[in-house]
Structure 1
Amino acid sequence: MSTTEASPLRIGKAAVAALGMLATSTGALESAVSPTLPLLQRELSLTPAEGALLSIAMLITGALLLPITGNLGDRFGGKRVMIRLMGVVVAGGLVSSLAPSLPVLLLGQVLQGAMLGAMPLSFILVRKYLSEGESSVAIGVVSGSFLAGGMLGTLIAGPIAEGLSRHWMFAIPTIGIAVTTLLLHRLMPDDPPGRPDSRIDWPGLLLMSGILLTLMLVLAIVPEAGSQPIALGALIVFLGVLVAGWVAVERRSRAPMVDLRLLAQPAIWSSYAITFAVCLGTSLSMYLVPQLLAVTGDGYGFGASATDIGFYLLPGAVAAAVAGPVAGVAVRRFGSRPAVTVGVICMITALLALVFLHGEIWHLVVGKVLVALASGVCVTAVVVKTATAVSHGDTGTATSLLLVIRVVAFAAGAQIGGAFLTAGIPAGSDIPTESAFVTGFVIGGAIAVLSLLTVRKLDKGVKE
């Protein structure tokens, strides 16, 4: 067996814990902007448009860098790329913590976006040094730790910014990333490079970057599609041209960035389809539930404050963090397909229940918990299936594309939810009708139902 398929070395719980701690630190830094955006707008005198740009800058750069870092990890070794990548993230965190103005803060956010590449690199490492059953649990731990870090960042960013300063809300998690990176460097053995002599597919890389940027622009226009139909149509056509060009380039490349034969495996394309459907439905509900808590309509809504909404959503955040390790254990014991099937059915049930039961706050809280738990189990189980359905040399590439789809689906769900609520505002009012929320929950459930059509494909085409 080649050195790229397995390694005689093993790693212990301390190394896996270091990966989890790093995921927690990056999750905390990633979530710092969202709860403190009003404060940043005040202190930096930002317009709403500038605030929106700041809130998505890291998301865009992360989506662009994910395929690159996964591919480089497969070629040159997960640890080597991870250490260098975290150096970029630490630099971004320091720039953000010292930023006196929006341009400098945007630069820091762009550099911090590299943190999303840590996930596929972690998956590369655990697959090389753990058995398949152990790596399933480790993947769940890393995924859950990132979500737990995001929850922690959401809770502490505001108090730190108000009690100390906005500078410290970036500096503290950045220090955590620096310390855990040094710990990981000490505990994790150097993994052998997979394909160090192969050339980088620059044309494929540039075309994929163009595809992701154009897709983000399309999603940004969706809520206002009625007022900008020509621009939306032109972007969709341009997106199609880029996709066609990328497929043509990858077919002819001697060292493609993404081997299209990999995407043709039923276990891989079905994993991507399930991830998109589940994350789209999850994102739609994540957008609608806070809006329904905040709105005050005729017989619906609760007029909750921002602080109250954060409190009501906290159980869902905890459920999402717990879902990763739970899914890892479930996959190890029962397999990915049963775990995904149960998760999707629970998610469909929760979303459809919200269609009829949303008249009490506890209805929304329980619904959000069930959706978060089911979604976390599904996505983690699919990540495990994707990682184990390919050779060790393709782990980073396959899982990074899965995470890109996850990012795009979450962005699309929020935009679709915004479009539904905008369309549901009656003339002369600024409050969406109750039917707009109901329609959103129905669409979310219907999208989740579609994912069941591909679940049976998860066990087909899996490598021996």
Structure 2
Amino acid sequence: MTTTLAPPVRAGRAAVGALGMLAVATGALESVVTPTLPLLQRELSISPAQGALLSITLLITGALVTPVAGNLGDRYGGRRVMLRLMAVVSAGGLVSSLAPNLPVLLLGQVLEGAMVGAMPLSFILVRRHLPTGESQVAIGVVSGLFVGGGMLGTLMAGPVAEGLSRHWMFAIPTIAIVVATLFVHRLMPDDPPTRPDARIDWPGLALLSGILLTLMLGLSMAPELGARPLVLGALLVLLALLAAGWIRVERRSPSPMVDLRLAAKPQTWSSYAITFAVCVGTAVSMFLVPQLFAVSADGYGFGADSTDIGRYLLPGAVAGAVSGPLGGAAARRFGSTAVVTAGIGTMTATLLAMAVLHTAVWHLVVGKALVALASGVCITAMVVRTATSVDHGNTGTATSLVLVTRVIGFAAGAQVSGAFLAAGTRPGTDDPAESAFVTGFVIAGAVTALSLLAVRTMSKGVRK
């Protein structure tokens, strides 16, 4: 077999469609827990704190698995790793659907978290088997369908759990994952390994996992850390030690988990910086807008119930779903730099406008939709730019780090928002002061705007 990087077989539309179907199914399975937490807490007799643990278990696993999956896909072939990864996810869905108690359900969520690693593997495959222009659009389509699947899972979880049972809300997406995986196996051409003899960097993997776990732990405790300086200091010291150890190991490893020379390139690290800033701004709006809808109508809020809030947020969910294909097509047509600049500008203006204009429901509905659309376009353009700025053998590793940065950015934004609202709530009252929301929107806009400083760096030495 030839050793060049040209794809041995060109993937057809059916193969890309199979990846899209898998993205929808995994997105749906990922999203069913959050809207049904009250039901799960009631049926499994678990506390709100245990419910919070359940809601972030999949996220933590995904953050750990994604860079590993991307790295293994680069070395041993994206299709080969994806099929094995989906076997783990399917097992997790089965465990979750049969879970009689919280420990078993947590095990299922841990296994399901491997699904996040399917994204960089999909990017490996479309880049390997499609021309550059078509692969940019395909990356956007797969990303958008994953978001769309999340929207579908959010909408179907409650009715399925209440109409059938909580078991079926896990079982239905799991069945779809199994079917989609079979289609990928049948339709997607195999991609030959690029580094089949390379050893796995176990020390680097362990240290990177420690860094991500420490970050996620610190973010989950963010509202309490201000009152616990010793804990905050210990976490910072541990994080610094793990990071220093990881950098030392990766520099000396003959086959590093992450090539630090690649990560140090301006177009690479700037992509991570932009992704983080954009996701922080997005997460703040995702957290604040529903809270603002729920504030009592006697004050500055709207007194909306869960059904109303879900209806108000639907346009934003639709905008997020179409943003992936739109971002991929726009990056192909205008270049990633122009797309990201326009998206950041739109996001910044919208967030600052929501700080001033939030006295009517439509203000927030339109604002949330614009933020979701601009954010999705930016992140997709970042993934496209990162994927096309590295050689084929590093596609999975580079894009997986973008996705991990996305997770960390969302987690950081949500925790910062929660801390703002908690600080803005007077003792003896249920609702935060309006100024807490205003401050949150302004800070989100400022953080998003700062990412423009990295956009110019992103374009250095990279073709459009």
TM range (shorter): over 0.9
CA distance, structure 1, for counterparts of residue 146 and residue 219 of structure 2? 25
Of the structure 1 ranges 218-227 and 415-424, higher mean CA displacement relative to structure 2 is found in 218-227
- What corresponds to 2:144 in structure 1? 144
- What corresponds to 1:363 in structure 2? 363
What number of residue pairs does the alignment pair up?
464
CA distance, structure 2, for counterparts of residue 437 and residue 3 of structure 1? 56
Check if 1:174 corresponds to 2:160: no
CA distance, structure 2, for counterparts of residue 102 and residue 437 of structure 1? 35
CA distance, structure 1, for counterparts of residue 97 and residue 410 of structure 2? 27
CA distance, structure 2, for counterparts of residue 297 and residue 284 of structure 1? 22
Q: Deviations over 1:219-254 (max 9, x none)?
A: 011111232221112101110111011001101111
CA distance, structure 1, for counterparts of residue 298 and residue 246 of structure 2? 50
1:316 and 1:4, CA in 2 relative to 1: closer, same or farther beyond 3 A?
farther
CA distance, structure 2, for counterparts of residue 386 and residue 420 of structure 1? 33
Are 1:391 and 1:463, in contact at CA under 8 Å, matched by a contact in 2? no
Of the structure 1 ranges 170-179 and 424-433, higher mean CA displacement relative to structure 2 is found in 424-433
Q: Deviations over 1:283-338 (max 9, x none)?
A: 01100000000012763111110111011001000000000001111111111000
Are 1:82 and 1:118, in contact at CA under 8 Å, matched by a contact in 2? yes
- What corresponds to 2:130 in structure 1? 130
State the shift of 1:425 in Å. 1.0
Q: How does 1:49-198 map to 2 (within 5 A)?
A: 49-198=49-198
Of the structure 1 ranges 293-302 and 397-406, higher mean CA displacement relative to structure 2 is found in 293-302
Q: How does 1:60-459 map to 2 (within 5 A)?
A: 60-296=60-296, 299-459=299-459
Are 1:390 and 1:462, in contact at CA under 8 Å, matched by a contact in 2? no
Are 1:4 and 1:192, in contact at CA under 8 Å, matched by a contact in 2? no
Q: Deviations over 1:199-235 (max 9, x none)?
A: 1101100000000000011101111123222111210
Q: Deviations over 1:345-400 (max 9, x none)?
A: 00001101001100111100000000000000000001000000000000000000
Partner SS for 1:46: coil
Identity, % of aligned positions? 72
Give the partner amino acid of 1:306.
S
State the shift of 1:428 in Å. 2.8
Partner SS for 1:429: coil
Give the partner amino acid of 1:167.
H
Give the partner amino acid of 2:371.
V
Give the partner amino acid of 1:93.
G
Check if 1:45 corresponds to 2:53: no
State the shift of 1:264 in Å. 1.0
Partner SS for 1:11: coil
Give the partner amino acid of 1:334.
F
| Structure 1 unaligned spans of 5+ | none
Give the partner amino acid of 1:433.
A
RMSD, matched Cα = 1.2
CA distance, structure 1, for counterparts of residue 28 and residue 430 of structure 2? 34
Partner SS for 1:58: helix
Partner SS for 2:192: coil
State the shift of 1:265 in Å. 0.9
CA distance, structure 1, for counterparts of residue 172 and residue 111 of structure 2? 17
Partner SS for 1:227: coil
State the shift of 1:457 in Å. 1.6
| Structure 2 unaligned spans of 5+ | none
Partner SS for 2:250: helix
CA distance, structure 1, for counterparts of residue 226 and residue 65 of structure 2? 32
Of the structure 1 ranges 230-239 and 253-262, higher mean CA displacement relative to structure 2 is found in 230-239
Partner SS for 2:194: coil
